[in-house]
Amino acid sequence: MTTRGATGSEIGSRRLVERLLRSQEGIVFLLALAAFVLFSATLPSFLSAGNLLVLIRSVSILGILALGMAVVVIARGIDVSMIAVMVVSVSWAFVITRAGYPFEVALLIGAGFALVAGIVIGALIAFGEVPPIFATLAAGSVIYGTGRTFFFTLEMQNVPPDTDWFRLIGQGNFLGIPVTIIAFGALCIVVQVVLSRTRFGWTIYAMGNNPQAARVTGLPTRPMIVAQYAISAFIAYLAGLILASSAAAINARLFNSTMIYDILLVVVLGGIGLNGGHGSVRNVILGTVFVGILLNGMTILNIDYTIQNLVKGVVLLLAIVADSLVNPRDEQTSQQGDL
Amino acid sequence: MRLGLFGKALCAAAALALGLSLAHAQDKGLENPRSTTFHTALKGKKVVFVPLSMGFDLTEGWAAQMRKQADRLGYDFEIRDPAWSTDAGTKAIQSLISEKPDLMVIHNPDIQSYARLLKQAQAAGIKIVQINLESNTTTDSYVGADWTEIGRKAAEAIVERCGAGKGISTKVAIDTGVPTAASDVFQLHGIYEVLDAHPEIQVVSQQATEYNPEKARSIMATVLQQHDDLCGAIGIWDNQDTGTASAIKEAGKSDQVFLVTSGGGNQVGCENVKNGLFNLYISYNVPLQGDLLNQEIVRLLMSDATAGEIQTMYFNPLTLITPENVNQRNCWTLDDLK
Amino acid sequence: MASSEALTRFRYRYLSGRLVGEILSKSWIDSAIPVAVLAVVLVAMSVLVPGIFTTGYVSDLSRQLAEFGLLALALTIVVMSGGIDLSIGSTFALCVLASLIGMNVLGLPFGVSLATALGTGIICGTLNGLLIGYLRLRAFITTLVTLVIYRALYDIVFPRLASAIVGNTPDSPLWDYLGFGDFYGIPISFLVFAAIALVIHITLSRLRPGWHLRAVGGARKSAYNAGINVKRTVCLAYVASGVLSAIAAFLFSARLGSTGADTGIGLEISVLTAVVLGGVSLGGGRGSVGNAIIGAILVLILTNGLIRMSTPGSVNQLVLGLILIFAVLFDAKWVKNRGKILSKVYVSPTYLALPPREDRDLATFALNDRLSEVETIGLGVVEGPEDVVLDADDNLYTGTRHGTIVRFLAPDYRRSEVFARIGGHPLGLAFDKQGDLLTCVGGMGVYRVSPNGAVSLVTDETNRSWLSVIDDSRLRLPDDLDIAPDGRIFFSEATIRYEMADWVTDALEGRGNGRLICHDPRTGQTRTVLRGLIFPNGITMCRDGQSLLFAETWACRISRYWFDGPKKGTHEVFISNLPGYPDNINRGSKGTYWVALLGLRTSTFDLAMRKPGFRRRMAHRIAADEWLFPNVNRGCIVHISETGEVLDVLWDRDGKNHPSITSTCEHKGYLYLGGVSNNRIGRVKLPDADPEWTAQRDYWGQG
Enumerate the residues of chain C whose CB falls inside 8 A of the CB of residue B184. Answer: 162
Average pLDDT value for residue range C448-471: 88
Q: Do A147 and C156 touch (CB under 8 A)?
A: no
In the prediction, which pLDDT does C258 show? 79
| Most B CBs within 10 Å, among A155, A250, A258, A294, to test the B interface | A155
Nearest-CA residue of chain B relative to A171?
Answer: B250
In the prediction, which pLDDT does C67 show? 93
In the prediction, which pLDDT does B3 show? 58
What is the distance in angstroms between the Cα of C319 and the nearest Cα belonging to chain B?
14
Please name the residues in contact with A40: beta carbons below 8 A apart, sequence gap of 6 or more: A46, A47
Q: What SS3 class is residue C572?
A: strand
Q: Is the pLDDT of residue C429 over 90?
A: yes
Q: For A162, what's the count of Cα atoms within 13 Å in the CB-facing half-sphere? A: 7
Enumerate the residues of chain A whose CB falls inside 8 A of the CB of residue B54. Answer: 153
Please name the residues in contact with C382: beta carbons below 8 A apart, sequence gap of 6 or more: C398, C400, C406, C416, C679, C680, C681
Percent of chain C at pLDDT exceeding 70 = 98
Distances (CA, A) of A276 to A73, A279, A280, B273: 6, 8, 11, 50
- To the nearest whole number, what is the mean pLDDT of chain A? 83
Give the separation between CA C272 and CA A131, rounded to whole angstroms. Answer: 13
pLDDT band, very low/low/confident/very high, at A246 (cuts 50, 70, 90): confident
C274-301 pLDDT per residue, tens: 998 888 877 788 888 998 999 999 988 8
Average pLDDT value for residue range A14-32: 72
A141-A145-A148 Cα angle (round to 5): 140
- C275 near C79, Cβ under 8 Å? yes
Average pLDDT value for residue range B287-311: 91
- C585 near C558, Cβ under 8 Å? yes
In the prediction, which pLDDT does C561 show? 94
- Out of B55, B211, B214, closest to residue A154 by CB: B55
Which uninterrupted H or E stretch holds A248?
none
- B185 near A219, Cβ under 8 Å? no
In the prediction, which pLDDT does A9 show? 62
The reply to whether omega before C536 is within 30° of 0 (cis) is: no
In the prediction, which pLDDT does B20 show? 63
In the prediction, which pLDDT does A3 show? 46
Find, among C45, C57, C35, the residue nearest to C294 by Cα.
C35
Q: Is the pLDDT of residue C306 over 70?
A: yes
C594-625 pLDDT per residue, tens: 999 999 989 899 999 988 889 888 888 888 78
Give the separation between CA C519 and CA C457, rounded to whole angstroms. Answer: 12
In the prediction, which pLDDT does C7 show? 78
Within 10 angstroms of residue C309's Cβ, the number of other Cβ atoms is 15
Enumerate the residues of chain B whose CB falls inside 8 A of the CB of residue A300. Answer: 225-226
| Most C CBs within 10 Å, among B56, B66, B112, to test the C interface | B112
Q: Do B113 and C261 touch (CB under 8 A)?
A: no
Q: Do A307 and C156 touch (CB under 8 A)?
A: yes
- Out of C158, C166, C313, closest to residue B81 by CB: C313
Enumerate the residues of chain C whose CB falls inside 8 A of the CB of residue A321. Answer: 131, 135, 137
Please indicate if any CB of chain C lies within 8 Å of the CB of A175: no
Enumerate the residues of chain C whose CB falls inside 8 A of the CB of residue B87. Answer: 263
Enumerate the residues of chain B whose CB falls inside 8 A of the CB of residue C163. Answer: 179-180, 185
pLDDT band, very low/low/confident/very high, at A2 (cuts 50, 70, 90): very low
Q: Which chains touch A (3 or more CB pairs under 8 A)?
A: B, C
Q: Given phi > 0 = left and psi -120 to 50 = alpha, else beta, which region is A124?
A: alpha
Q: Is the pLDDT of residue C375 over 80?
A: yes
Q: Is the pLDDT of residue B24 over 60?
A: no
Enumerate the residues of chain C whose CB falls inside 8 A of the CB of residue B136. Answer: 166
Complex ipTM, two decimals?
0.83
Q: Do B87 and C263 touch (CB under 8 A)?
A: yes
DSSP B174-235: EEES-TTSHHHHHHHHHHHHHHHT-TT-EEEEEEE-TT-HHHHHHHHHHHHHH-TT--EEEE
What is the distance in angstroms between the Cα of B31 and the nearest Cα belonging to chain A?
44
Q: Is the pLDDT of residue B224 over 70?
A: yes
Q: Which of residues 252-271 of A touch C (CB under 8 A)?
A: 256, 258, 261, 264-265, 268
Nearest-CA residue of chain B relative to C51?
Answer: B99
Please indicate if any CB of chain C lies within 8 Å of the CB of B208: yes
pLDDT band, very low/low/confident/very high, at A19 (cuts 50, 70, 90): low
- Out of B207, B213, B250, closest to residue A171 by CB: B250
Average pLDDT value for residue range C677-689: 88
Q: Do B88 and C258 touch (CB under 8 A)?
A: no
Q: Do C166 and B136 touch (CB under 8 A)?
A: yes
Distances (CA, A) of B9 to A330, B3, B18: 126, 9, 14
Nearest-CA residue of chain A relative to C313?
Answer: A145
pLDDT band, very low/low/confident/very high, at A1 (cuts 50, 70, 90): very low
What is the distance in angstroms between the Cα of B53 and the nearest Cα belonging to chain C?
8
- Out of A274, A304, A337, closest to residue C284 by CB: A337
In the prediction, which pLDDT does A336 show? 46
Q: Is the pLDDT of residue B1 over 60?
A: no
B225-251 pLDDT per residue, tens: 778 889 999 999 998 898 899 889 888
Enumerate the residues of chain A whose CB falls inside 8 A of the CB of residue B225. Answer: 45, 51, 54, 296, 299-300
* pTM score above 0.80: no
Q: Do B54 and C313 touch (CB under 8 A)?
A: yes
B43-61 pLDDT per residue, tens: 889 999 999 988 888 999 9
Nearest-CA residue of chain B relative to C54?
Answer: B98
Q: State the helix-helix crossing angle for A24-42 and A305-326, rounded to 10 degrees.
A: 150
Please indicate if any CB of chain C lies within 8 Å of the CB of B138: no
Q: Do C317 and A141 touch (CB under 8 A)?
A: yes
Distances (CA, A) of A163 to A88, A158, C342, C449, C665: 20, 11, 61, 95, 101
Q: If 0-12 CB within 10 Å is exposed, 13-18 middle and 19+ buried, where does residue C647 land?
A: middle
Q: Do C84 and A339 touch (CB under 8 A)?
A: yes
In the prediction, which pLDDT does A22 show? 64
Q: Is the pLDDT of residue B294 over 80?
A: yes
Enumerate the residues of chain C whose CB falls inside 8 A of the CB of residue B179. Answer: 158-159, 162-163, 261
Please indicate if any CB of chain B lies within 8 Å of the CB of A58: yes
pLDDT band, very low/low/confident/very high, at A228 (cuts 50, 70, 90): very high
In the prediction, which pLDDT does A21 show? 62
C114-167 pLDDT per residue, tens: 999 999 999 999 999 999 988 888 888 889 889 989 999 998 898 788 778 877
Q: Do B212 and A248 touch (CB under 8 A)?
A: no
- Out of A156, A247, A253, closest to residue B217 by CB: A247
What is the distance in angstroms between the Cα of C512 and the nearest Cα belonging to chain A?
41
- Out of A142, A304, A310, closest to residue C325 by CB: A142
Within 10 angstroms of residue B4's Cβ, the number of other Cβ atoms is 8
Sign of the CA dihedral running C212, C216, C219, C221: positive
- A156 near A90, Cβ under 8 Å? no
| Most A CBs within 10 Å, among B56, B212, B214, to test the A interface | B214
The lowest-confidence range among A240-249, C576-585, C635-644 is A240-249
What is the distance in angstroms between the Cα of C154 and the nearest Cα belonging to chain A?
9
Average pLDDT value for residue range C529-540: 91
In the prediction, which pLDDT does C625 show? 83
Within 10 angstroms of residue B49's Cβ, the number of other Cβ atoms is 26
In the prediction, which pLDDT does C503 show? 84
Enumerate the residues of chain B whose CB falls inside 8 A of the CB of residue C316. Answer: 83, 88
What is the distance in angstroms between the Cα of A12 and the nearest Cα belonging to chain C?
33
Give the separation between CA B183 and CA B132, rounded to whole angstroms. Answer: 8
Q: Which of residues 59-98 of B touch C (CB under 8 A)?
A: 78-88, 90-92, 94-95, 97-98
Give the separation between CA B112 and CA B178, rounded to whole angstroms. Answer: 12
Q: Is the pLDDT of residue A170 over 80?
A: no
Q: Where are the alpha helices (DSSP H) in chain A?
A: 2-22, 24-42, 49-74, 82-98, 103-126, 132-146, 164-171, 179-197, 199-209, 211-216, 221-247, 259-270, 281-300, 305-326
Find, among B267, B296, B295, the residue nearest to B283 by Cα.
B267
Radius of gyration of chain B from its Cα atoms, rounded to whole angstroms: 28
A185-204 pLDDT per residue, tens: 999 999 999 999 999 999 99
- Single-letter amino acid code for the residue at A321: V
- Out of C166, C304, C310, closest to residue B180 by CB: C166
A265-306 pLDDT per residue, tens: 788 888 887 778 888 899 899 989 888 888 778 877 777 777
